[in-house]
Amino acid sequence: MLNVQVSNAVIPAIGFGTCGMGAADVYRLIPAALRAGFRHIDTAQIYRNEGEIGECVAGSGIARSEVFLTTKVWVSNYSERHFEASVNESLRKLKTDYIDLLLLHWAEGVWKRFSLL
């Protein structure tokens, strides 16, 4: 698979998205995607499948350093009060001590509520 170099980061150009995947789909599709050569898995707290993703990656036999994990912090966890705990929960569920790309998840109407524009 093609990688993109951004500063010191090497990011697999194509990520395998997991939005809408329940446990059965994750356990069927993530191992198949990893066997097919995907090395970028995209998930999010709101998808409620980080735990299953973590199990699949940990059980894949592929070194963690070879799998690029992206997850997203949900809007209710943006505040300083919730942010760190939510990221630690994602780390625990993903069975890793680091996330390669951590994003703030955007949902329609959020920017109006937070008056960021």
47 catalytic? Reply is yes
> Residue 101 corresponds to which tokens in the numbers above?
């790309």
The Cα 117–Cα 99 span in angstroms is 28
Choose among 73, 78, 77: nearest CA to 105.
73
The two structure tokens encoding residue 87? 């990221």
**Considering 27, 47, 78, 98, which one is annotated as catalytic?**
47
Positions marked catalytic: 47
